[in-house]
Amino acid sequence: MRTLTVQLADRSYPIHIGPGLLKRVELMIERMPQKAAALVTNTTVEPLYSRGLVAALEASGVRVVRVVLPDGEAHKNWESLNRIFDLLIAGRCERNTTVIALGGGVVGDLAGFAAAIYQRGTPFIQVPTTLLAHVDSAVGGKTAINHPLGKNMIGAFYQPRVVVIDTDTLETLPAREFAAGVAEVIKYGAIRDAAFFAWLEQHIERVIARDPDALGYAIERSCINKAEVVGQDERETGQRALLNYGHTFGHAIEAGVGYGAWLHGEAVAAGMVLAAKLSRRLGFLGEQEVARITSLLRRARLPVDGPELSVERYFELMAHDKKVEGGRLRFILLRGLGEAFLASDVPVVAVEEALAQRHASDV
Amino acid sequence: MRTLTVQLADRSYPIHIGPGLLKRVELMIERMPQKAAALVTNTTVEPLYSRGLVAALEASGVRVVRVVLPDGEAHKNWESLNRIFDLLIAGRCERNTTVIALGGGVVGDLAGFAAAIYQRGTPFIQVPTTLLAHVDSAVGGKTAINHPLGKNMIGAFYQPRVVVIDTDTLETLPAREFAAGVAEVIKYGAIRDAAFFAWLEQHIERVIARDPDALGYAIERSCINKAEVVGQDERETGQRALLNYGHTFGHAIEAGVGYGAWLHGEAVAAGMVLAAKLSRRLGFLGEQEVARITSLLRRARLPVDGPELSVERYFELMAHDKKVEGGRLRFILLRGLGEAFLASDVPVVAVEEALAQRHASDV
């Protein structure tokens, strides 16, 4: 087991990474104010991991209320949130009851947001079971639900007490979801860790094959990057925004094809290629670097072409994105591999050109 | 104009109190990151004060999106919250758009909670127009909506950037709502300010008659008390809980008769009498002090008898209250006028006896 720390003064918390950690419930209990928990999971994860975790917690004297949600991004909405509240209230959960999220990014976002606003805030623990959640969504305290007009429109910054990453949970993850998580791993290399990007170019096939050593290293390196950024800019007033590389296009893609049709990581992959093309168009990135990003994503079995939406539709969807400020579109761009920056006032025509060339072969 | 400060380090904010402040929009604009606002109000306040405020803001170059909600505690729910989000999104409100609450406690709670979770947090300003909001709900950052099974079950601690209290707005406040606000004024005297309680015993008729000097003093003294408590215990881990004196019974009363049938301050008034009787039953308060509290509330034209619910029903409703911890009922009690304390493990039989004597004449 490796342990990192997210440095946030009196709200600092550990991230434990390793195999077999689902059985080590003491890692959770030591961060709970009392032995009472509400375990939030989904119908897919429940038969795989929930029963064992509940049994282990109960064997240690923890009272556990269970909340099982339907699976999928389409359910990251008020309805699921309200289902959590109904069961928390029915189960007499109190301010000191710890909400535990067991699942992927959707479960983590829903359970975390529920914990943030149930009785104005209850303790929260992340136990992610997908690669995307391991390397991204479980770390850093962003929680939210979707609104019909925009992804993650309603939410809170709310930090967990601890993140417990059991790498064994990836054994059951479907290949498509696994690849979607790799998109965010590659993102860390692209935006702030050129050495890690180069390592991934060497070892991406081992990562995809879920070789324990390669995968463990990729998860740890991703979490280190995420923890550093969050520790410096918790509420995204500055450099944390760089983590959204590929996400302005990505969110438009997710909304444009209908939430759930593309996985978040898939949309981000295609979004990163578009953002790289935009960076190149503005003279910040060379053709060869765009090709390296595209090639690495393709080797990771990720989509690199944007879907068939009109340029007008892309713009319409992006205008609802949170990264709009003062009416102008802002973009995270690259000025080389491993160095992202925030560009305001990106010319509309450059974005149109990048979108017109949304097939990877259009360079 | 008098200005107090709520001391919360980098989130400290001013409270301005005085007549005619609705016209002094610079007090709001100086606390806004950009000249964009969403004004949230209700159908009652809208024709009285909203148009003038919007005109004044627009004359100063502020772009204003308007949100008008139905009036009343019955609307402090998810439906109203979602209506705010729909209009914020339709009006292209961004992360730097300031949400302004113009109205009473319900508007403040709804608009404040909306600001807390819209795009994970937008700036927020309180412009309260009822006495209850002036002296209590607009100060301190508690925001929430009700759940069918419990009042304020879903919410956030989210501080405003500034509170602007225009005391002229009380001229149009109906007598019943005005009295409900006086309940919270009296509460400050009862729980932590014996000199203020004695002053109120001298001057309550002037306050009720809305004499500007007496009323201005009562509002200022109430805000000073509230600001001190919030500055010391923002998230209610300790003494802030004392502000809930009368509220455990009060919330049960509100839920038991159906939200909106009794005003919050009315329920708190009857709840304070019940809590005083409970304090007496446990030997903390004398008969004469219970009588002084009851008499002052009665002179303020507030209910001092609990409604006709069975003792069992009171218990059922109180068990859902947030102040339950570890399965035990906790109560804020008085050990003399001006000195409240938190009692855990209050014997059930004493609560039953206090409830059985829920008519003020039963002492």
> B61-116, pLDDT tens digit by residue?
999 999 999 998 889 999 999 999 999 999 999 999 999 999 999 999 999 999 99
Cβ(B68)–Cβ(B41) below 8 Å: yes
Q: Quick check: B259 pLDDT over 80?
A: no
Q: How far apart are CA A132 and CA A187, in angstroms?
A: 11
Query: Of the candidates B256, B105, B275, which has an alpha carbon nearest to the alpha carbon of residue B181?
Result: B105
Nearest CA in chain B to A156: B120
Nearest CA in chain A to B316: A92
**Which chain A residues in 159-198 lie under 8 Å from chain B, judged by CB atoms?**
none
| Chain B residues with CB-CB distance to A82 below 8 A | 78
Q: Average pLDDT of B40-45?
A: 97
Average model confidence (pLDDT) for chain A? Answer: 94
Q: How confident is the model at residue B362 (pLDDT cuts 50, 70, 90)?
A: low
Residues A81-123: pLDDT tens digits?
A: 999 999 999 999 999 999 999 999 999 999 999 999 999 999 9
Architecture of domain B2-171: 3-Layer(aba) Sandwich (3.40)
Q: How far apart are CA B172 and CA B40, in angstroms?
A: 19
Q: How far apart are CA A345 and CA B113, in angstroms?
A: 32
Q: Quick check: B189 pLDDT over 60?
A: yes
DSSP β-ladder status, A36-42 and A63-69: parallel
Residue B151's pLDDT is 80
Least confident of A278-282, A358-362, B5-9, B189-193: A358-362
A92 touches B: beta carbon within 8 Å: yes
Would residue B75 show up in a list of annotated catalytic residues for this protein? no
Residue B173's pLDDT is 95
| Chain B residues with CB-CB distance to A85 below 8 A | 147, 153-154
- CATH 3.40.50.1970 region(s) of chain B? 2-171
Which residue from A89, A147, A157 is facing B149, i.e. has the nearest CB? Answer: A89
Tokens matching residue B333 = 């009690």
Q: Average pLDDT of B321-331?
A: 64
Residue B183's pLDDT is 98
Query: Of the candidates B290, B325, B286, which has an alpha carbon nearest to the alpha carbon of residue B304?
Result: B290
Q: Give me the total of CB pairs closer than 8 Å, taking one residue from chain A and one from chain B.
A: 88
N residues, chain B: 363
C-alpha separations of B273 from A84, B252, B351, B361 in Å: 36, 14, 13, 11
Give every CB contact of residue A122 below 8 A, 6+ residues apart in sequence: A93, A94, A95, A96, A97, A98, A99, A115
| Chain B residues with CB-CB distance to A119 below 8 A | 153-155, 322
Question: Do B118 and A34 lie within an 8 Å CB cutoff?
Answer: no
Nearest CA in chain A to B87: A149
Cβ(B128)–Cβ(B100) below 8 Å: no
The CATH number, out of the four listed (3.30.465.10, 2.60.40.10, 1.20.1090.10, 1.10.645.10), of the domain defined by the range B175-356: 1.20.1090.10
pTM comes to: 0.90
Question: Do A121 and B157 lie within an 8 Å CB cutoff?
Answer: yes
DSSP β-ladder status, B98-103 and B36-42: parallel
Which residue from B85, B86, B94 is facing A325, i.e. has the nearest CB? Answer: B94
C-alpha separations of B108 from A339, B42, B151, B325 in Å: 43, 10, 15, 28
B320 touches A: beta carbon within 8 Å: yes
Residue A327's pLDDT is 52
C-alpha separations of B354 from B20, B183, B296, B315 in Å: 45, 20, 20, 12
Question: Do A85 and B116 lie within an 8 Å CB cutoff?
Answer: no
Cβ(B137)–Cβ(B105) below 8 Å: yes
C-alpha separations of B87 from A6, A155, A289, A324, B66 in Å: 36, 17, 42, 17, 8
C-alpha separations of A288 from A190, A193, A262 in Å: 14, 18, 27
Question: Do A116 and B322 lie within an 8 Å CB cutoff?
Answer: no
Cβ(A327)–Cβ(B97) below 8 Å: no
DSSP β-ladder status, A162-166 and A13-18: parallel
Would residue B264 show up in a list of annotated catalytic residues for this protein? yes
Residue A288's pLDDT is 97
Average model confidence (pLDDT) for chain B? Answer: 94
Which residue from A113, A120, A327 is facing B155, i.e. has the nearest CB? Answer: A120
The CA distance from A122 to the nearest CA of chain B, in Å, is 11
Residue A230's pLDDT is 96
Partners of B328 in the beta sheet?
B325
Q: How confident is the model at residue B215 (pLDDT cuts 50, 70, 90)?
A: very high
Question: Do B153 and A82 lie within an 8 Å CB cutoff?
Answer: no
Would residue B142 show up in a list of annotated catalytic residues for this protein? yes
Q: Average pLDDT of B274-303?
A: 97
Q: Quick check: B149 pLDDT over 90?
A: no
Cβ(B123)–Cβ(B162) below 8 Å: no
Would residue B66 show up in a list of annotated catalytic residues for this protein? no
B116 touches A: beta carbon within 8 Å: yes
Residues lower than pLDDT 50 in chain A = 322
- CATH 1.20.1090.10 region(s) of chain A? 175-356
Per-residue DSSP letters for B84-98? HHHHHHHTT--TTPE
B91 touches A: beta carbon within 8 Å: no
Which residue from B119, B144, B327 is facing A322, i.e. has the nearest CB? Answer: B119
Calculate ∠ Cα B215-B216-B219, nearest 5°.
Answer: 85
Residue B348's pLDDT is 85
Which residue from B86, B94, B322 is facing A324, i.e. has the nearest CB? Answer: B94
Question: Do B320 and A89 lie within an 8 Å CB cutoff?
Answer: yes
Give every CB contact of residue B137 below 8 A, 6+ residues apart in sequence: B104, B105, B108, B109, B128
A142 touches B: beta carbon within 8 Å: yes
- Placement of tokens 């409100």 in the chain: B93
Q: How far apart are CA B4 and CA B228, in angstroms?
A: 10
Calculate ∠ Cα B133-B137-B138, nearest 5°.
Answer: 70
Question: Do B156 and A116 lie within an 8 Å CB cutoff?
Answer: yes
Question: Do A121 and B235 lie within an 8 Å CB cutoff?
Answer: yes
Q: DSSP character for B49? A: I
Residue A357's pLDDT is 84
> Where is pLDDT greater, at B348 or A250?
A250
Residue B325's pLDDT is 56
